[in-house]
Structure 1
């Protein structure tokens, strides 16, 4: 063998040894890097992902690790593993062959450091759905090989490096949505990524117009740009995206018409452009025969619904409410597929209801209220077992309601109001076990109310008013334990009122006016703890007025125009009920001058009268003695109490009052003081009739003789006296006093003078939620009580934000402003800082610009803007939810310096164990999972970016879904119906729908 040959073989051998040595070194490096990654992460004990990660196992055998042919680590797949901790990007990017890094759907936190740009071979990067990352995302221009980039819902903020995308011309899927990035125009760099088939930029602070260059992205299958601030028209170039399967543009500020070029999108299955300012007709959509869901609600569309919609074979969800659409709906609409729901409410539509939308037995909601529909209800809907919401009110519908409608097994609301329906409510109603609300007022319905109505055991509200019902009110109605509202007025009901009504302990509103009812008023009505309004006027009721009614707190009492006799109970003989007894000539009264004086025939014997006279004389003497004693003692009162009587007071009542001004003024003294706040003192007052009240005393002027030296700047209404005060204060109080909600504290009246104001509220005996959780009255609240308090308080705030003519921002939501009645039912209280939202000329809501609130509850946007809206209340309510779940105060030393409960909770969302440890130790282990459901809602409410927080309406829905021991999924629109279904981009897997 020649020397040359030997030399070559030696050289080759050296190369092999060198390669093997390098390979061994690489494997050793990869092993150390992965072990460091393991040490940086934590996971639940139930997760065994890292059990194979040890120094004696080759890295290629680690769970979640894939190696290339050379034995180097090429892929890390650790998504959906409940991982927490901070990623060591400096180490990870030391994996020289790494092409895939998938860590989505975990609890990872910390910053994404600039070391990431050293992962130059990455083709797949998924850090999405962690939601706990902080800071901005680094420039990754060097990652030019990237094909899949998922950062959606990661918690990243700041300015996104859009320019770094310019080098990634191979990108196939780009998902950056649901992050609070700094506002920026639509990035022009994106429109050069011509290989994209998925572009998810929803809810990431984009603004300005969609560029014409969007038409370059001809491979797009899924385009989602919703929940931004995008303006202008939908560009005509959108018509070039002929492969689109889903197009989501909802909740922006788009204007103009749908471009004609949209007719080219024949493969489009899901189109949502709701909540914009779009106009024109829908004619361009008649070519989109593959549509599955179409959502265009809350726009300005007009014209007819295209007849072609009736031939769409795949259409299952149609939501067009709150537009100006006219003409009929196609009669074949929804008859081809397993149709889900339709909501075309608040339009000008006419003609008959399409008959076959529940042909396949899958329809859940039929919502066509407030239109001009005519004809009857098609019989087919009486056989629709899945139908949950049936709302056809405020139309011109007629005919007999099919009997099966009354007994739909899944229905929770039947709303037929303001139509011309005839016929009766049939016994089928006993099958409606899920029925909560029955609204059939203002029709021509006849017949008797069936005994079987008691079978609809979930009923909360029955409103049958303004019809032609007759016969007796069935006694079985007393079996409806959840019934709160019963309106039967303006019918022809006869017979007596059933005594069983006293068993409906949730009843708060009874109206049976203008019927033919006879017999006596049941005394059992006086045992209803929540009764607030009772109207029995214009009937033929006889006998005495039950004295038991005096024990009920009634804001409305009307017994006028009946055949009642005997004495009006003295406790009801108050100015507040003036007119409540008119039209009953056989009534008498000792107190009311407009009625004849009660005689012995009226029930007062001579002996009783003598006793009364003696008692009156004795009382008069006693009054003289007490008056003299009071006169002497009055000189001993302090100046502040005496000054109240010296002032001239103006009383403005907002409810029926059963007490006098003097009773209130005489009770503002030290022994009745129950609390002090930034806006004044609070006193407990017991009126002469036994009614308990809470009175807040507010000094108006900064320089008042007895008032505070300097008014608090956070309470505008204390900053000036009445003489300087504009009408704005009085208007605000009047607006707040008009609130009528079971979860908002009742303001009875205001009593104002030159120097001070008294606000008279209902008294809540169980104090505040703060007292029960943290204060000297701390008590162990079980989880059910805490949950009910959370739901009730949320409903109160929901009413303020969504139920008033103008939204009311409370601005000081906190546990000490949530009061509890004797049953621990919550009331939102203290509106000293509240503001009503005005609408600007564009119809958008203006925000208030005054800093207000309490440390620990104040939303973080105070740090960079004075513009505060309803979402600030949502943040504060999220803090309250955290208090309920954890039992902690908003500010505790254990949180650390400059930290609050929100940062403390978020810092402990690392693992299942750490989350469970957040739950109050007073809550049993078996219920901690239930508590965590509410904690999740609290975290959503306290998102740093206001736009990402849910509305209070959505908060209520989520809380109801989290009801202990129940799993209910509800997707809601403005009416409570399903808004939309998730489409092609599955955010749980970061993948396109496999069926596209």
Structure 2
């Protein structure tokens, strides 16, 4: 019977119920819009009571006017999701809120959405456990990956979901658990994502029952044992991700059946054996097996894989030649087969399609010439074939490839010159050519490769003069030319390379005088000009340098050695120069009275005059500073101030302004002065004072009088102030320093923070109080600081890149709990920025990630590198830059040089860390090494770093002795770790 034929009263009731149902749905949707916040443009602008709710953005209705779908994925929503209300919608089949910033719990009301077929709550910031959802029997798609869920996932709920097709629960900090047996009965499953969710134990053989799977991702867990042979039953697999586990054994027979496999990654495991089982997988597009123990040859069949574009096999024990046709079929992207025992030639056609970006084959036994085909590969960004047995010339065009960041052909048997093509290498940052047979004159055109940061031409046969315009390389920080046959003078233009820290030109035939301009290099750390034919006097300007290495030996230098260089640290630095004299170094002849005694008297008089002048200047400066401080104090009170609070304030601006005076100064930095303020109630605060103009230097403060350089300085300080306020005003995290308010005027700005009475981590580790940190405290500081950075990267509405992570920016409260501080260089990543990166150079020497050297782009992974340096500081107790590191220059390279034996590794652990905790310290050091990997995309996220650090929690060691040797010495048969009692 149609509605038109129903009795009038019944029809009236029906329409009333229908209207009531629609009213309830409208109210539910309005409640939802009221519970969530949306940034501009507001997704809820169309959600109005006067608008039909089926027209609401993200809402879909069926033919009867009932809501069947709500999809608000990726809308940058914040707030708590009212699931109890949403699940009253009787016809709801699709609910999608993935890729937002929702928080709070996922409530049990979700279990009332009984008709749901599609549920996406992934990539949010929920709290607590995921509820039991056994009532959702019709569910086919379940996405809760990356949603900050913890505790135990309700695996038993899956028993009723026999139609489940997609299950994505990875990237959540669940407690450790074995692979859930309930999943093995989901026979319709096509997509299983369980990466980074604390699975332990083995992959069950029952995985072979899920023969409809096209994607299986189990990476970044604690899976052990061998890959089960039953994996070969998954013949529809398109992607298999097993990397970063503890898998052992060989590839099982049957892997060859996965002929539809396109993406396979089993890197960072303990797998062994050969790769022969993979030679049948002709549809592979990307294959990554690095950091394993594979041996044998790379199957020749790999050369016939017509879709292969990425191949990463580095750090294994592979041998034999690479297939000649490797990478010649598809638009090949990159190859990395470094650190193996490969022989034979480099495959010539990997850039045949003109798309190759990286060719990495260092540390093998490759031979033959570099194929000329790569001279035309304009897409190449990295070309590294060092430490092989390659011969012949470097093809001319390679020198000038426009996108190359690095050319590394060191430690081969290459010959021939560097050609003038290098003038086209506009992106080249690193040029490593050492230990070859390269020869000829250095082309003048090398000075046009203006992005060069590091040049190493040592141990070759280069001859002729050093290009006069080499000083045009303004970004150059390291220049090695030792052990060649270079002649002529050292170019004076080198004195304009303000970033130069390492200059080595030993064992050449250089002549003429040492340029005095070298003494003006502000960061020069190492200067070696020994074994040349240099003449004339040692420039007195070198006295201003702070060198860890100085070697001018075996030249033809004459005259007096400057007094300030006549110190024990430079013993042997001047030997082999018979024309030199000294009044203090006994191994040299004393300067004659004519040249020495008169000079001594003259020097004494000059010194007395200088001392008197300095005393007068100091007195004048003190008076000026005193007056300026008083003027500043008076001017602060005269200014009109604007207070913007970000917390509940218990103080007034007058209390803050009264405390900005010299006796309260506790620190000075590039961003401004920092003062300690004690309020009348005894509470302590820290206040950063930033002058908006150059008034902090004593100049006038009126903007109309500011010259162009001053405007630039003002703009820079303003940007730093804005960055710090924008970053910290919205952040609420226990491990990020709390900003109470900003107080601004026309000429200066004040930032009021919580006060950290225990200073910085740098102070505790490296200054007078460094003995106060035991290992447990260091570990807690590492975890807390990591959580703070994790929040910045993953917990904010938009990721925040700190850009100056270092131990001096990790402050410690009264309980030694850490706070990330100093956000003057921070950058909030914009939604439309390219790859979330910035081109602005920032950071501190020793903590700066290596990608600065060739791209000057940074993203979150640059913070990860800097944090890795901090972890190394915590474990070793050493500074990022120490003279003892020698040629390695920084702690990262020094640590990597000490990893050859277990004894070497134990030797770099801080001696103040007790023996029972050294194993735990090494676990943290491993995390630091992962964080400081050269390639940014191989570094973990801060979320992964936190998880790894939590897994490395200090434990008590219990050694179980089961027998003794012939000498009665106990043999340790087992070592178990027991968590310390609370």
Q: Answer yes or no: same fold by TM over 0.5.
A: yes
Bigger relative contact order (CA 8 A; separation at least 6): 1
Aligned equivalent of 1:155:
148
Change (3 A) 1:155 1:783: farther
Distance 1:815 1:369, change over 3 A: farther
Q: 2:214 aligns with which of 214, 218, 221?
A: 221
CA 1:814–1:135: 2 relative to 1, 3 Å: farther
Aligned 8 A contact 1:493 1:516 in 2? yes
1:401, distance to aligned residue in structure 2 (A): 0.6
Q: Deviations over 1:531-572 (max 9, x none)?
A: 111111111111111111001111111111111111111111
SS in 1 for 2:255: helix
Seen in structure 2, the aligned counterparts of structure 1 residues 521 and 933 have a Cα distance that, compared at 3 Å, is same
SS at match of 2:170: coil
Residues 528 and 549, structure 2, Cα contact 8 Å, conserved in 1: yes
| C-alpha contact 1:833 1:852 (8 A) present in aligned 2 | no
Q: How does 1:775-790 map to 2 (within 5 A)?
A: 775=686, 778-779=689-690, 782=717
Structure 2 equivalent of residue 25 of structure 1? 20
Task: Name the structure 1 match of 2:109.
Answer: 115
Match of residue 662 from structure 2: none
Q: Is the 8 A contact 2:354 2:379 kept in 1?
A: yes
Flag the 1:146–1:956 CA change in 2: closer, same or farther, 3 A.
Answer: farther
Aligned to 1:653: none
Q: 1:378-777 counterparts in 2 under 5 A? A: 378-600=371-593, 603-604=595-596, 766=668, 772=674, 775=686
Distance in 1 separating the partners of 2:373 and 2:835 = 43
RMSD (Å) for aligned C-alpha atoms? 4.4
| Equivalent pair of 1:289/1:312 in contact (CA under 8 Å) | yes
Q: From 935, 952, 955, give the equivalent of 1:976.
A: 935
Deviations 1:890-936 (A, max 9, x none): 7999xxx999978xx9xxxxxxxxxxxxx98x999xx8667999999
Query: Would you say the 8 A contact 1:859–1:875 is kept in 2?
Result: no
CA apart distance, 1:769: 8.0
Shift in Å, 1:373: 0.2
SS of the counterpart of 2:22? helix
2:272 maps to 1:279: yes
Offset, 1:615: 11
Q: CA 1:204 to 1:615, structure 2 compared with 1: closer, same or farther past 3 Å?
A: closer
Q: 1:51 is paired with a residue of what secondary structure?
A: helix
Change over 3 Å in CA distance of 1:388–1:494 after alignment to 2: same
Preserved CA contact (<8 Å) 2:291 2:314? yes
- Whether 1:859 aligns to 2:852 is no
In the TM superposition, what is the alpha-carbon distance from 1:270 to its structure 2 partner?
0.2
Give 1:910's aligned residue: none
SS of the residue aligned with 2:254? helix
Contact 1:768 1:818 in 2 (8 A): no
Q: Secondary structure at the match of 2:776?
A: coil
Aligned twin of 1:850:
776
CA contact (8 A) 1:813 1:877 kept: no
Query: Helix, strand or coil: the match of 1:159?
Result: coil
TM-superposition CA deviations, 1:752-778 (whole Å, max 9, x none)? xxxxxxxxxxxx995698965985664
Name the SS for the 1:66 alignment partner. strand
In structure 1, distance between residues paired with 2:313 and 2:72: 42
Match of 2:303 among 310, 314, 324: 310
Counterpart of 2:85 (choices 91, 94, 97) is 91
Q: Distance in 2 between matches of 1:610 and 1:953?
A: 51
- Residues 1:324 and 2:317 are matched in the alignment: yes
2:45 & 2:277 partners in 1: Cα distance? 58
Distance (whole Å) between structure 1 residues aligned to residue 667 and residue 932 of structure 2: 37
**SS at structure 2 position matched to 1:287:** coil
| Counterpart residue number, 1:81 | 75
Post-superposition CA distance 1:275-319 (Å, at most 9, x none): 001110000100000000000000010000000000000000000
Change (3 A) 1:372 1:929: closer
Distance 1:140-1:485 versus aligned 2 partners, 3 A rule: same
Shift of 1:435: 0.5
Cα gap change, 1:198 to 1:931, in 2 (>3 Å): closer
Aligned in 2, Cα 1:963/1:18: closer, same or farther, shift over 3 Å? Answer: closer
Which of 57, 61, 65 in structure 2 is aligned with 1:63? Answer: 57
**C-alpha contact 1:353 1:377 (8 A) present in aligned 2:** yes
Partner of 2:35: 40
Partners of 1:367 and 1:391 within 8 A in 2: yes
Q: Is the 8 A contact 2:248 2:271 kept in 1?
A: yes
Q: Which moved more, 1:64-73 or 1:289-298?
A: 64-73
Query: Structure 1 residue 158: deviation in Å?
Result: 1.3
Cα 1:958/1:491, change in 2 over 3 Å? closer
Distance in structure 2 (CA, Å) of the matches to 1:600 and 1:441 = 47
The 1:973/1:190 distance shift into structure 2, 3 A limit, reads farther
Q: C-alpha distance in 1, partners of 2:333/2:74?
A: 31
Q: Is the partner of 2:402 in helix, strand or coil?
A: coil
Mean Cα displacement is larger for which, 195-204 or 928-937? Answer: 928-937
Residues 787 and 520 of structure 1, relative CA distance in 2, 3 Å threshold:
farther
Aligned with 1:205 (options 192, 198, 204): 198
Deviation at 1:320, TM superposition (A): 0.2
Cα distance in 2 for residues equivalent to 1:103 and 1:957? 40
Give distance in 2, aligned partners of 1:883 and 1:541.
43
Alignment-derived partner of residue 672 in structure 1: none
SS of 1:445's equivalent? strand
Instruction: Say whether the 8 Å CA contact 2:103–2:127 is kept in structure 1.
Output: yes
Deviations 1:657-685 (A, max 9, x none): xxxxxxxxxxxxxxxxxxxxxxxxxxxxx
User: Which residue number corresponds to residue 95 of structure 2?
Assistant: 101
Contact 2:161 2:186 in 1 (8 A): yes
The match for 2:224 is 231
Contact kept, 8 Å, 1:310 with 1:334, in 2: the verdict is yes
Paired residue for 1:657?
none
Give distance in 2, aligned partners of 1:124 and 1:231.
33
Greater alpha carbon shift after TM alignment, 14-23 vs 355-364? 14-23
CA gap of 1:834–1:952, structure 2 versus 1, over 3 A, is farther
Which whole-Å CA distance do the structure 2 matches of 1:71 and 1:874 have between them?
47
> How many Å apart are 1:859 and its aligned residue?
3.0
Tell me the distance in 2 between the aligned counterparts of 1:973 and 1:816. 22
Kindly tell me: are residues 611 and 490 of structure 1, through their superposed partners in 2, closer, same or farther at Cα, counting changes over 3 Å?
A: closer
Asked if 2 retains the 8 angstrom alpha-carbon contact of 1:465 and 1:491, the reply is: yes
- Provide the rounded CA distance (Å) in 2 between the counterparts of 1:814 and 1:432: 49
Residues 962 and 582 from structure 1, CA distance in 2 versus in 1: closer, same or farther, beyond 3 angstroms? Answer: closer
TM-score normalised according to structure 1 size? 0.68
Q: Secondary structure at the match of 1:117?
A: helix
Q: Secondary structure at the match of 2:343?
A: strand
Give CA-to-partner distance per residue, 1:828-847, whole Å, 9 cap, x none: 955966999xxxxxxxxxxx
Unpaired stretches in structure 1, ≥5 consecutive residues: 620-763, 790-811, 820-826, 837-847, 861-869, 906-918, 939-950, 982-996
Q: CA deviation at 1:163?
A: 0.9
Deviation at 1:782, TM superposition (A): 3.2
Among candidates 373, 376, 382, match of residue 369 of structure 2? 376
Offset of 1:28 from its aligned partner? 1.3
- Is the CA contact 1:236–1:260 (under 8 Å) kept in the aligned structure 2? yes
Report the CA distance shift for 1:936/1:226 in structure 2 as closer, same or farther (over 3 A).
same
- Distance of aligned partners of 1:932 and 1:765 in 2 relative to their CA distance in 1, 3 Å threshold: farther
Normalized against structure 2, the TM-score is what? 0.69
**Residues 852, 832 of structure 1: alpha-carbon distance in 2 compared, 3 angstrom cutoff:** farther
Matched pairs, number: 738
Q: State the 1:70 CA deviation.
A: 2.2
Q: In structure 1, how many angstroms separate the alpha carbons of the residues matched to 2:436 and 2:802? A: 47
Counterpart of 2:240?
Answer: 247
CA–CA distance in 1 between the matches of 2:571 and 2:142? 72
Q: How does 1:879-894 map to 2 (within 5 A)?
A: none
The answer to whether the Cα contact below 8 Å between 1:462 and 1:487 also exists between their aligned partners in 2 is yes
1:125 aligns with 2:119: yes
